[in-house]
């Protein structure tokens, strides 16, 4: 995974990126204090990784392999792009956390440029899996739930 930019100071998402082997994670958030707090927390938890706040999104994006979008922009009630479209480029992979709608403006724009993309579908299903486990004590079949979710989107 190497070097990644995350838009939004979502702690669980950032933790997942570092667990999945992001070697360097640069956070951008509208709340500088929230971003700084998360940087401090993650730096302590992942001392072998570089975790920092960013100050120039365009410049930072030009030197990373991936973008994780973890802000509300793009949700049905907050349509639009979370960054200028011209910041995206073909070699960048883009992971969306927003799942309603599943096909956000960011994903449409990134795909049109040739970026590899991941929708927020996995986030929706994983949250449902965890909720079912917590509320019922049963172990859900995550793969089956994801396949069903996908079939609902297609049908």
**Model confidence over 87-118: pLDDT tens digits?**
999 999 999 999 889 999 999 999 999 999 99
Predicted pLDDT at 146: 82
Closest by CA position to 120, among listed 150, 82, 140: 150
1 pLDDT more than 80: no
- Residue 29, SS3 per DSSP: coil
121-136 helix and 142-154 helix, angle to the nearest 10 degrees: 130
Q: Span 135-142, mean pLDDT?
A: 92
CATH number of 2-119, picked from 3.40.50.170, 3.40.50.2300, 3.20.20.70, 3.40.50.720 = 3.40.50.720
Backbone phi, then psi, for 26, in 5-degree steps? -110, 120
Q: How confident is the model at residue 123 (pLDDT cuts 50, 70, 90)?
A: confident
pLDDT tens digits, residue range 25-78?
A: 999 999 999 999 999 999 999 999 999 999 999 999 999 999 999 999 999 999
**153 compared with 61, residue with greater pLDDT:** 61
Q: The whole model's pTM is what?
A: 0.90
Predicted pLDDT at 155: 78
Predicted pLDDT at 149: 86
Predicted pLDDT at 74: 95
d(CA 141, CA 126): 11
Q: Where are the alpha helices (DSSP H) in the chain?
A: 11-19, 32-45, 57-61, 105-113, 121-136, 142-154
Domains of the chain, residue spans: 2-119, 121-155
């Amino acid at each position: 995974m190497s070097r990644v930019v995350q838009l939004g100071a979502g702690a669980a998402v950032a933790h997942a990126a570092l667990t999945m082997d992001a070697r360097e994670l640069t956070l951008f958030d509208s709340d500088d204090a929230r971003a700084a707090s998360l940087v401090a927390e993650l730096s302590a938890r992942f001392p072998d990784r570089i975790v920092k706040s960013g100050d120039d999104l365009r410049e930072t994006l030009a030197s990373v392999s991936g973008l994780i979008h973890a802000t509300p922009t793009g949700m049905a009630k907050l349509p639009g792009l979370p960054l200028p479209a011209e910041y995206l480029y073909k070699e960048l992979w883009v992971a969306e956390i927003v799942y309603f709608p599943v096909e956000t403006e960011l994903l449409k724009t990134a795909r049109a440029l040739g970026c590899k993309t991941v929708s927020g579908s996995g986030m929706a299903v994983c949250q449902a899996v965890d909720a079912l486990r917590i509320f019922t004590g049963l172990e859900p079949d995550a793969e089956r739930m994801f396949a069903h979710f996908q079939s609902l989107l297609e049908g």
